[in-house]
Structure 1
Amino acid sequence: MFWILAAALTAITALAILSPLRRGRGGAAPAAAYDLRVYRDQLAEVERDLDRGVIGPDDAQRLRAEIGRKVLDADRRAALSAPAARGGRALWPAVALVAMLAGAVALYLREGVPGAPDMPLAERFAAADAAYRDRPSQAEAEAAAPARPAPDLSQADPEYLTMIDQLRDAVGRNPDDQQGLALLASNEMRLGNLAAARAAQQRLVDLRGDQADAVQLMQLATLMVDAAGGVVTPEAEAVLRRALTLDPTQPQARYLQGVLLIQNGRPDRAFPLWRGLLDEGPEGAPWIAPIRAAIQDLAWLAGDDEYRAPAPPAADLPGPDADALAAAEDLSPEDRARMIQDMVDRLQQRLATQGGSPEEWARLIAALAMLDQRDQATAILTEARQRFGSAPDALAPIERAATDAGLDG
């Protein structure tokens, strides 16, 4: 059936392309013949006007001569077009079209799957279920994941690194310290040490057992997905299910659930999930940017051709902006620095605990650089790149802020 439809569509397309050329093959001769008929009618009209006395003999003679010149010109054009028609004016276009069609068939035979049978929707769902069941384990996915470069800590604050080393020693001496494990996981992630962050978070969740909350489980699942090269493995999915059982509205867990469905060929189920997250917002949430970047294509894959993503609302970003900094100019230098530092600390704390939009991360980086806290700004830049590295559009404002602040790549 496929080949019959393909051949019919190819024939229709070829005829549509060649039809104008085929008509044009004799296009000059019919035009000249039409002109000749018109000019003969005009000569007859001149004779009738002369008989009725509408025009005189001199005018009639002048009109006959003028029309006669047009008749000779039309006759010459008709004679010149005849060899072109006989020579097959459409031959070369036809040859080019045949060559293109042959090339298309050859390309399909090489790159396509000519013998592939039709795949009804039920079979596609069955294939998606098979892919879901055949996912690699966490260990297999981590082994297959591309190696991550070691984080560049050359610009980090030495005192901060010393403090992290002390935290590592403290947790090593007391591996059941849940507060220490939570701090270690957060700071290792900030430094880009994802393997260490994942180990600390896993230990924390294991210690808490059934008391682990949805956010802690979601953070562990996120680190597992990162370690697996972006693949949501069965082990990571199990952690996500625990998180969603405790809090079905947990947005980042729902986002990763959508990633799982997309990876396993179920855009029809992922689209309503991500659409709901996009509608709920807030716009500054870290999962909104990657959803916005993919939702239109996801809608098409899900069969919703008419979906249009809602326009993002006007930005209303917390943290020190130009107006806030301008208002601080009236304060004393000490009060101004304290006010700006307080706004920066609040923004940094909120981003560390709740996440935020790329623009908020960019604002924090710019503010820290302005306060000459370049080591901290570099650490935040490293963490932001880890969070938004898979979405170039989301990373763009962060990179602009880093460039404007003069931070090294």
Structure 2
Amino acid sequence: MVFWITAGALALVAAGIIALAVRRQRGNSEHPAEYDLRVYRDQLKEVDKDLARGVIDEADATRIRTEVSRRILAADAQLKAEQAGETTKSRGGMALIVAMGVVLIGLSFLGYWKLGAPGFQDQPLTLRMEEARARMDSRQSQAEAEAQVPASPGPTPDADFVALMDKLRQTAAERPDDLQGQELLARNEASMGNFKAAYTAQQQIIRIKGDRASSSDYSILANMMIAAADGYVSPEAQAALRRAMEINPANNLARYYWGLMLLQNDRPDLTFKIWDQVLRQSPPDAPWVPAIRSRIMDLAWFAGVEYQMPAAPHSGDGLSGPSNDDMEAASEMSAEDRQEMIRGMVSNLAERLATEGGTPEEWARLISAYGVLGDSERALVIWEEAKGVFAENPEALAIVRAGAERAGVAD
């Protein structure tokens, strides 16, 4: 009911604005006939004055009065006709205003009735989250998703490769516990676009390894399953991703796909949080980085975050800050020039990490560079800050710790 009242009020306001525009007058501008009447009356007064001064005689005065009076009568008649016409126009304008108001309000309500959802109550955030969770729990299985993927021709291998693949498949079937054979089968099936066969072989790899299966093994399995489902993250793929992140919380491929799964199930806000961290902690040439960069600004909008995308590193090894080559080049400079060059590079890197974040390799490089400069106090401050940033990412923290050890500030 509140929506209808609000919509009706807005429609009336819009109609009122249109009515004001239609009825707008020219302010206090004078009608031309009124101006003429005032001029003619002044002329009559001037005739009497000229007659009294002897400028004109009585005959001329009478002739002029007759002519001016005729013009006064004509102007007065014109003014009355105009006023009568304005009344008619005013009535027609009011009819037009009323008709426009009715049409505007009617179309507004009709449009909402057809395109909107009359009768729907407000949906609080908790309700929308519950609905998203319900959709995720009831979504398609891996087999159902694969059944809907249209068939597409894969790469056409040569006859020799086809013969080798047939032999490999036969060998893998005869020796299901041969780890190397299953690894070769999974890799080659994936290269041929046979993703279902590829992830079936990858499942055998995980079965053979048992508890020794790595986070990478599970993320590769999920990757193959998602490819087989044409980009859809099924519950089965989700289980593989969960296991990959349980073994290694810093597995960025698994985290990327986890964010994609949340996006597919109406949780762009959670996707943004995950992908932002993945983007900052991934090497610039990681295959998922372009996909994140192309969509993260829209995700930030959905999450209600004022977001500035981290700048892509530009140095030759993908990292910002002074590299080993820079350090060697600096060794040929004078001590003063060398310190100035390194400090400039370090300052730029420190500013970017403070405002935009960066990969653990960049944090390690910054700490190490401060050690080279002999600024152990600053290196220690950055190391303490990095420990907070990567507290939940042991693998990344180990990379940063290596830089702190080179700087002599690791605890």
TM-score by length of 2: 0.60
In structure 2, the partner of 1:115 is 119
CA distance in 2, matches of 1:261, 1:313: 28
CA distance in 2, matches of 1:298, 1:41: 71
CA distance in 2, matches of 1:179, 1:276: 35
Asked if residue 129 in structure 1 is aligned to residue 133 in structure 2, the reply is yes
Which residue type is aligned with residue 111 of structure 1? Answer: L
Task: Summarize the alignment of residues 150-165 of structure 1 with structure 2, pairs less than 5 Å apart.
Answer: 150-154=152-156, 156-165=157-166
Task: Summarize the alignment of residues 200-211 of structure 1 with structure 2, pairs less than 5 Å apart.
Answer: 200-211=201-212
CA distance in 1, matches of 2:152, 2:173: 22
CA distance in 2, matches of 1:199, 1:223: 9
In structure 2, the partner of 1:253 is 254
Conservation of the 8 A alpha-carbon contact between 1:32 and 1:77: no
Q: Of 130, 148, 151, which aligns to 1:149?
A: 151
Task: Summarize the alignment of residues 84-123 of structure 1 with structure 2, pairs less than 5 Å apart.
Answer: 85-89=89-93, 91-92=95-96, 95-96=99-100, 98-123=102-127
Task: Summarize the alignment of residues 284-323 of structure 1 with structure 2, pairs less than 5 Å apart.
Answer: 284-304=285-305, 306-310=306-310, 312=312
Greater RCO, CA 8 A, separation 6+: 1
For residue 76 of structure 1, report the CA deviation from its aligned partner. Answer: 9.8
Higher radius of gyration, 1 or 2: 2
Which residue type is aligned with residue 104 of structure 1? Answer: S
CA distance in 1, matches of 2:291, 2:299: 12
Which residue type is aligned with residue 163 of structure 2? Answer: T
TM-score by length of 1: 0.60
CA distance in 1, matches of 2:272, 2:185: 35
Which residue type is aligned with residue 158 of structure 2? Answer: D
Conservation of the 8 A alpha-carbon contact between 2:196 and 2:228: yes
Conservation of the 8 A alpha-carbon contact between 1:188 and 1:196: yes
Unpaired segments of 5 or more residues in structure 1? 52-56, 58-63, 319-409
CA distance in 1, matches of 2:136, 2:97: 50
Conservation of the 8 A alpha-carbon contact between 1:141 and 1:231: yes
Asked if residue 6 in structure 1 is aligned to residue 7 in structure 2, the reply is yes
In structure 1, the partner of 2:371 is none
Which residue type is aligned with residue 105 of structure 1? Answer: F
Conservation of the 8 A alpha-carbon contact between 1:181 and 1:203: yes
Q: Of 21, 29, 33, which aligns to 2:30?
A: 33
Unpaired segments of 5 or more residues in structure 2? 50-54, 56-67, 319-411
Change (3 A) 1:147 1:79: same
Identity %: 35
Conservation of the 8 A alpha-carbon contact between 1:146 and 1:229: no
Please report the RMSD computed on the Cα atoms of aligned residues, expressed in angstroms. 4.1
Which residue type is aligned with residue 149 of structure 1? Answer: A
Which segments of structure 1 move beyond 6 Å, counting only runs of 4 or more? 34-47, 315-318
CA distance in 2, matches of 1:307, 1:40: 70
In structure 1, the partner of 2:284 is 283
CA distance in 1, matches of 2:98, 2:16: 10
For residue 301 of structure 1, report the CA deviation from its aligned partner. Answer: 1.8
Change (3 A) 1:83 1:45: closer
Conservation of the 8 A alpha-carbon contact between 2:8 and 2:105: no
Which residue type is aligned with residue 278 of structure 1? Answer: L
CA distance in 2, matches of 1:159, 1:317: 39
Change (3 A) 1:34 1:266: same
For residue 184 of structure 1, report the CA deviation from its aligned partner. Answer: 1.8
Q: Figure out how many residues of one structure are paired with residues of the other and give that number.
A: 297
